[in-house]
Amino acid sequence: MKTAHLRPELSRPHLARRVAAEFVGTGLLVTVVVGSGIAAQQLSAGDAGLQLLENSIATALGLVVLILMLGPVSGAHFNPVVSIADWLIGRRGNGLPGRDLGPYLLAQIGGGIAGTLLAGVMFDTAPALSTTDRASGGHLVGEVVATAGLVLLIFALARSGRSEVTAAAVGAYIGAAYWFTSSTSFANPAVTIARTFTDTFAGIAPASVAPFILAQLVGAALGLGLLFVFYPTAARTAGNVVIPVEAP
């Protein structure tokens, strides 16, 4: 007798739990980014290199922890380009269902903004639109490179069956990309939007947001293109991005 297999969507935690995990995860990620940026600015005034080092280390470590903590619930996307890519390549398989994409994106953006506000409260910094203009040609190329590498890394690890190292690998990549990209590797539309609400070390001016997000989408497309060059059957494991979701 053949054993029946549950459809992928039936083995996932309830959507409300997954959306809550994406909201909290993205929010705490932005809290780490913005909060460590404010702390670095206060503790290492006048030394931009040391400030960036402190900010990048905190972000890399915080991201690892958040992926490990919430990955089994929602996959730990915490990033609209990851969710969009997961939906695109997994439409006929076990990727993110189309009906779940909108709630994921809203949770990520809303969580990111909440994370910025939380960091401001902790450091007694009032919310304010950033005045840091980042939309130069070099910065945009940096965002394309950072996002392409991130998408390629995440989906390649899922396809090659090495999801157990994804948290560490993603954290290491983002930490490194702070330094090898001119944009300091936002690579995340939700984080980009959220960082407009702080006029501190981690801020980005509202006028820079649209060019940054466009560059991130281009980078995501490039990353997916490279993925299918190297791993033609990557769509089969879309459900394992970023971390395989565990049934309740």
Q: What is the mean pLDDT of the chain?
A: 93
Backbone dihedral angles phi then psi of residue 123, each to the nearest 5 degrees: -105, 15
Mean pLDDT of 164-187: 97
Q: What is the percent of the chain where pLDDT is above 70?
A: 94
Examine residue 217 and state whether it is found in any structural domain, yes or no. yes
Q: What is the pLDDT of residues 69-101, one digit of tens each?
A: 999 999 999 999 999 999 999 876 678 999 999
Examine residue 245 and state whether it is found in any structural domain, yes or no. no
Q: What domain range is 98 assigned to?
A: 12-240
Is the model's pLDDT at 179 over the cut of 60? Answer: yes
| Max Cα-Cα span within the chain | 71
Examine residue 248 and state whether it is found in any structural domain, yes or no. no
Check residue 92 and give its pLDDT: 63
- Produce one character per residue of 120-136: b if its CB has 16 or more CB atoms within 10 Å, e if not: beebebeeeebeeebbe
248: confidence class by pLDDT, cuts 50, 70, 90? low
Q: What is the pLDDT of residues 192-246, one digit of tens each?
A: 999 999 999 999 999 999 999 999 999 999 999 999 999 999 888 888 888 888 7
Burial grade of 231 (CB within 10 A; 0-12, 13-18, 19 or more): middle
Check residue 6 and give its pLDDT: 42
Check residue 236 and give its pLDDT: 86
Examine residue 6 and state whether it is found in any structural domain, yes or no. no
- Give me the count of residues in the chain: 248
Is the model's pLDDT at 12 over the cut of 80? Answer: no
Examine residue 38 and state whether it is found in any structural domain, yes or no. yes
Examine residue 1 and state whether it is found in any structural domain, yes or no. no
Q: Are 88 and 234 in contact (CB under 8 A)?
A: no
247: confidence class by pLDDT, cuts 50, 70, 90? low
Indicate which CATH number applies to the domain containing 60: 1.20.1080.10
Please tell me the distance from the alpha carbon of residue 141 to that of residue 135, in angstroms, as a whole number: 10
Q: 14-23, 31-40, 156-165, 222-231: lowest mean pLDDT where? A: 156-165
5: confidence class by pLDDT, cuts 50, 70, 90? very low
Examine residue 37 and state whether it is found in any structural domain, yes or no. yes
Domain count, the chain: 1
Mean pLDDT of 169-191: 98
Examine residue 152 and state whether it is found in any structural domain, yes or no. yes
